[in-house]
Structure 1
Amino acid sequence: MEHARINNADLHYADQGPKDGPVVMFANSLGTDFRVWDTFLPHLPAGLRIVRYDKRGHGLSEETSGPYTIEQLADDAAGLILHLQLRDVVFVGLSIGGLIGQSLAARHGDLLRGLVISNSAAKIGDAQMWRDRVAAIRANGLASIGATTMERWFSPAFRASGHAAPWQRMLERQPLNGYAACCEAIAAADLRSSSAKLSLPVQLIAGDLDGSTPPQIVQETAELIPGARMDIVHGAGHIPCVEAPEAHAAILIRFFKEIGHV
Structure 2
Amino acid sequence: MTRIDAKFAALKAEGKKAFVAYVMAGDPDYETSLELIRGLPGAGVDIIEMGLPFTDPMADGETIQLAGQRALEAGMTLKRTLQMARAFREADDTTPIVLMGYYNPIYNHGVDTFLADAKAAGIDGLIVVDLPPEEDEELCIPAQAAGLNFIRLATPTTDDKRLPKVLQNTSGFVYYVSITGITGAAAAEAGDVGPEVARIKAQTDLPVIVGFGIRTPEAAESIASIADGAVVGSAIVGALADGKPVTDVLSFVKTLSDGTHRA
TM value normalised by structure 1: 0.31
TM-score between the two structures when normalised by the length of structure 2 = 0.31
